Amino acid sequence: MAFPNLFSPISINTLEVKNRIVMTAMHLGYTPDGEVTDRLVGFYTARARGGAGLIIIGGCTIDALAGMSNMVAIYEDRFLPGLKRLAREVKAHGAGVALQLYQAGRYTHSSMIGGEKPISASAVRSRLTGETPRALEPEEISGVQMKYAEAAGRAQRAGFDAVEILGSAGYLISQFLSPLTNVREDRYGGSLENRMRFGLEVVERVREVVGSDYPIIMRLAGNDFMEGGNTNIEAGIFASELEKAGVDLFNVTGGWHETRIPQLTMSVPRGAYIYLARGIKAAVTVPVLGSNRINDPAMAEELLENGEVDMVTMARALLADPDMPNKAESGKSDCIYHCIACNQGCFDSIFRLQPVTCLVNPQAGMEGEIPVRPADPVKRVMVIGGGPAGMKAACTAAERGHQVTLVEREDQLGGQLLLNRNIPGREEMVTAGDDLVNNLNAHGVEIMLSREADVPWVKEVAPEAVILATGARPLLPDIEGVDKQKAAMAWDILSGKAVAGKRVVIIGGNAVGLETALYLANQGTVSPEILHFLVANRAESWETLEALISQGNRDVTVVEMAKKAGQDIGMSTRWTVMAELRRLGVKILTGAKALAVTEKGLDITRAGNNEPLPADTVVIAAGSVPENSLARQLGGVVSEVYTIGDAKEPRNALEAIKEGFLAGLRI
Ligand code: SF4
């Protein structure tokens, strides 16, 4: 497929960008003290080499108290040498490079800024930090605005092609713009005209410093998605005024970090918020950039072709596959590793204050440290097990030049990834497997399906190295009656090998247990097509429509021993899963221990009381155990044997794929 729109140049003020692909700013955690590091340079030069049109670095703190200390800093001249090197090296690979000016206001936690109180438009408590900021005094405001301008001047001197002002997601400019966080009574509060003033003056100050021909980008919330906050209408009015103040490109995203509407999880449909960019496009004459969940060049091409946006942001998409633009342009779209919006390697790492990595790209952030080198000597490698760990190991070994055979006992590749196929909001996990299959084929891996690898057969084939990725099997807990007919394993329910009755109790409130609950509770709700039909024809009331998408045909209860369910789900995603389960009416009993599966259901004990839970089916989701018996048997048969992934120790797909990658590099 050709992508004529995606790979056409565009001008932003005086800057010519070679294509429409923009890597927007993302916090990476690669700069422990704010200084540019080799790791940061290696990460961004890989994306520039891979064909991105414009890369926006950041957020970059414009003040020592503007955000976390491990963000890229630009608040003093001492950061200039590193920033100059970064801008030079990214541009050397043909990409444009911009720098995002970051001032978080009340989204900064006092512990990140030496105990100081964060600043804001007004002293309104932040749900994100749990803290109340202090309102800027009128005489302080121009000083804060000048910090943006001084930082913009520094970016220009460092060689960056443009600056982006962060005016979205609930950061300081948004805090002035919103009536929820701005209750000032001076010329910066009250009417929309007054609330826009802070942001508009920031742009004016920046423009005064950088001159008329230097590109200024504004990152804007297309809708705050905060009850009582700004919508696409106010955002359009603000954008129109910002254009007059000197903005050359609008980067339109979704809502605030405090919103309860998911913005970046897998449950957000691809391109869900493009309509917000379309609203801004109607209000301005300069180019508009659309954001959130655009992970595929074909989709980006369609958005451009239809004139919805002028450019597309692909930040996580380029974290997942730095070579995505080049692959698309050279006709190798099949080999793209798509971002699946799992957030396990990126946002969840940030929340744990860890450097960012990627589930589908274990090399992300380690480009210089773990290169993929040609194999020497080339070996005959057998990988046993076609789940994520095995597929990644086979791919990596083959990419290096080894002769690789991948053996899978089932009739398709994918392993546990395939279990996500029917779980609402988790379907894209399957894409990670599909992408690996495409790359296995591209690298010439011999794939043997429905083949049990036993010792005599391995002996006969005589590989020089074996990677054992045989996965795990579900754990059958030591509970009376688990062998009864009414008990079923969660994996069997998810794969369709077993069918649950009307009343279901699930033992285990970990990710698998909750996702099984999501799957079962969603059964019998109306499909998106039917919902669309009913809405389009105004056939039912809003209350009835809500009931139709929330009330399925099963009664589902989850029993969890711990005080909290879903503890193995990342922070960025857990709250969305819990909200969905609530909406679907799933009951979650925490601090509850399963005692026995009976004829009538499941007996449990909770808070010292025994109680029977009636059920037609009791689903077991009590964890898993490694399936690696072959490792011992192959000990004397093959000289090199590596056990990886769940076969070593059951964990998540991020760990499995990383171990597969490292095993593929070791041989
Ligand atoms: Fe996308 Fe997941 Fe990688 Fe983050 S970790 S970039 S969400 S695939």
pLDDT at 20 over 80: yes
Instruction: Report pLDDT digits (tens) over 328-345.
Output: 999 999 999 999 999 999
CA of 378 to the centre of ligand 1 (A): 32
| Burial class, 481, CB count within 10 angstroms (exposed 0-12 / middle 13-18 / buried 19+) | middle
* d(C-alpha 508, C-alpha 307), whole Å: 48
Residue 432 Cβ inside 6 Å of ligand 1? The answer reads no
341 lines ligand 1 (CB under 6 A): yes
C-beta of 315 in contact with ligand 1 (< 6 A)? no
CA angle 648, 350, 252 (to 5 degrees): 125
- Geometric angle at alpha carbon 166, from 292 and 302, rounded to 5°: 30
Query: What residues have CB less than 8 Å from 54, skipping those under 6 apart?
Result: 12, 17, 21, 22, 23, 95, 96, 97, 98, 161, 162, 311
Between 623 and 65, residue with greater pLDDT: 623
Instruction: Grade residue 115 by pLDDT with cuts at 50, 70 and 90.
Output: confident
Has residue 370 got a pLDDT over 90?
Answer: no
Of 521, 544, 382, the C-alpha closest to 447 is 382
Q: Which residue's CA is minimally distant from atom 6 of ligand 1? A: 316
- 66-109 per-position pLDDT tens digit: 888 889 999 999 999 999 999 999 999 999 999 999 999 999 88
Question: Which homologous superfamily does the CATH classification assign to the domain defined by 10-351?
Answer: Aldolase class I (3.20.20.70)
Query: Contact 164/218 with Cβ under 8 angstroms?
Result: yes
Is ligand 1 within 6 A of the CB of residue 340? yes
Contacts of residue 470, Cβ cutoff 8 Å, sequence gap at least 6: 384, 385, 627, 628, 630, 647
Half-sphere exposure of 316 (CA within 13 A, CB side): 24
CA distance 589 to 432: 33
- In Å, what is the CA distance from 351 to each residue of 189, 258, 337, 391, 629? 33, 15, 24, 29, 37
Give residue 319 CA to ligand 1 midpoint distance, Å.
7
Q: What distance lies between CA 364 and its chain's CA centroid? A: 14
Q: Is residue 289 over pLDDT 90? A: yes
Question: What tokens does 517 get?
Answer: 């609950």
- Whose alpha carbon is nearest atom 1 of ligand 1? 339
Q: Does ligand 1 come within 6 angstroms of the Cβ of 654? A: no
Atom of ligand 1 nearest to the CA of 361: 3
| Cross-strand pairs, 619 | 488, 506
Angle, helices 141-158 vs 80-92, to 10°: value is 50
Cβ(345) – ligand 1 distance below 6 Å = yes
Q: What is the pLDDT at residue 196?
A: 97
- The 3-state secondary structure of 89-152 reads HHHHCCCEEEEEEECCHHHCCHHHHCCCCCEECCCCCCCCCCCCCEECCHHHHHHHHHHHHHHH
Q: Do 476-622 and 10-351 have the same topology in CATH?
A: no
Distance (Å, rounded) from C-alpha 22 to C-alpha 29? 20
Q: What is the pLDDT of residues 547-570, one digit of tens each?
A: 999 999 999 999 999 999 999 999
Ligand 1 centre and the CA of 275: distance in Å? 23
Q: Ligand 1, residues 316, 351, 661: which to mutate, most atoms within 8 A of Cβ? A: 316
What pLDDT score does 453 carry?
93
545 burial via Cβ count (<10 Å: 0-12, 13-18, 19+): middle
Using CA atoms, how far apart are residues 533 and 307, in angstroms rounded to an integer? Answer: 26
Q: Is the CB of 447 under 6 A from ligand 1?
A: no
Q: Is the CB of 264 under 6 A from ligand 1?
A: no
Residue 528 pLDDT exceeds 80: yes
Q: What is the average per-residue pLDDT within 125-140?
A: 93
517 lines ligand 1 (CB under 6 A): no
Ligand 1 neighbourhood includes 363 CB (under 6 angstroms)? no
> What is the pLDDT at residue 658?
96
CA of 88 to the centre of ligand 1 (A): 27
pLDDT of residue 133: 94
Ligand 1: distance of its center to the CA of 253 in Å?
18
Fold of 476-622: FAD/NAD(P)-binding domain (3.50.50)
Q: What is the pLDDT of residue 553?
A: 95
pLDDT at 533: 97
pLDDT of residue 54: 98
Ligand 1 site-directed mutation target among 23, 26, 47, 344, most atoms within 8 Å of CB: 344
Average pLDDT, the chain: 95
Predicted local confidence at residue 534, as pLDDT? 97
**CATH number for the segment(s) 380-473+625-666:** 3.40.50.720
* Closest atom of ligand 1 to CA, residue 319: 6
Asked if pLDDT for residue 484 goes beyond 90, the answer is no
Specify the range with the lowest mean pLDDT, choosing from 400-404, 579-583, 648-652: 648-652
347 Cα to the center of ligand 1, angstroms: 8
Only one residue has tokens 């009931």, namely 547
What does the domain layout of the chain look like in residue ranges? 10-351, 380-473+625-666, 476-622
Question: Residue 181's pLDDT is what?
Answer: 97
Radius of gyration of the chain (CA): 27
- Name the residue with tokens 């359009």: 236
Answer yes or no: is the C-beta of 319 below 6 A from any ligand 1 atom.
Answer: yes
Instruction: Give the pLDDT score at 405.
Output: 97
Question: Does 335 sit in the ligand 1 pocket, CB within 6 Å?
Answer: no
Q: Is the CB of 365 under 6 A from ligand 1?
A: no
Quote the pLDDT of residue 578. 96
For CA atoms 70, 75, 77, 80, the dihedral sign is positive
Q: Which of 395, 431, 466, 426 has the alpha carbon at shortest distance from 641?
A: 466
Compute, in angstroms, the gap from residue 343 CA to the centroid of ligand 1: 5
**Given this model, what pLDDT does residue 52 score?**
98
pLDDT in tens, 488-513: 999 999 999 999 999 999 999 999 99
Cα(361) to centroid of ligand 1, in Å?
Answer: 8
Q: Is any ligand 1 atom within 6 A of the Cβ of residue 265?
A: no
Q: Which pLDDT value is given to residue 114?
A: 82
Does residue 294 have its Cβ closer than 6 Å to ligand 1? no
Contact 255, 223 (CB under 8 A): yes
More confidently predicted of 285 and 351: 285
The arithmetic mean of pLDDT across residues 309-337, rounded, is 96
Residue 295: CB within 6 Å of ligand 1?
A: no
The response to whether residue 316 sits with its C-beta less than 6 Å from ligand 1 reads yes
Protein residue closest via CA to atom 8 of ligand 1: 339
Query: What pLDDT is stored for residue 65 in this prediction?
Result: 84
What is the pTM assigned to this prediction?
A: 0.93
Query: CB within 8 A of 308, min separation 6: which ones?
Result: 274, 277, 278, 281, 290
Ligand 1 contact via 359 beta carbon (within 6 Å): yes
* C-alpha 82 to ligand 1 mean position (Å): 27
- Angle at the Cα of 204 from the Cα atoms of 202 and 206, rounded to 5 degrees: 70
Contact 257, 169 (CB under 8 A): yes
